[in-house]
Amino acid sequence: MDGRQCIVKICEGIPTSRWKKITENVLSKAEANGTLASYYKDHKDEYMCMSCYNSIVVNGSSRFKEHAIEWQRPPKRRRNDNNLILSESIALLTDIIFKREIIEGRPPIFSFSQLRSIMEDADERLGSLFDELEEASCIRKKERKLTGLWHINVI
6 binds Zn ion (CB under 5 A): yes
Q: Which is nearer to Zn ion, 52 or 129 (CB)?
A: 52
Stretch that binds Zn ion, among 27-35, 50-58, 61-69, 90-98 (CB under 5 A): 50-58
- Select from 36, 37, 52, 57 the one that contacts Zn ion (CB under 5 A): 52
Q: Which of 22, 49, 56, 109 binds Zn ion (CB under 5 A)?
A: 49
Q: Which is nearer to Zn ion, 59 or 82 (CB)?
A: 59
Answer whether 117's CB lies under 8 Å from 62's CB.
Answer: no
CA distances (Å), origin 93, targets 111, 125, 127? 15, 11, 11
Contact range with Zn ion by CB under 5 A, out of 23-31, 45-53, 75-83, 123-131: 45-53
Q: Are 89 and 120 in contact (CB under 8 A)?
A: no
* Residue 28 Cβ vs Zn ion, minimum distance, rounded to whole Å: 19
Check residue 25 and report its DSSP letter. H
**Shortest CA distance to 150 belongs to which of 135, 136, 133?**
133
Alpha carbons 126 and 117: distance in angstroms, whole number: 10
Q: Applying CB under 5 A, which residues contact Zn ion?
A: 6, 8, 11, 49, 52
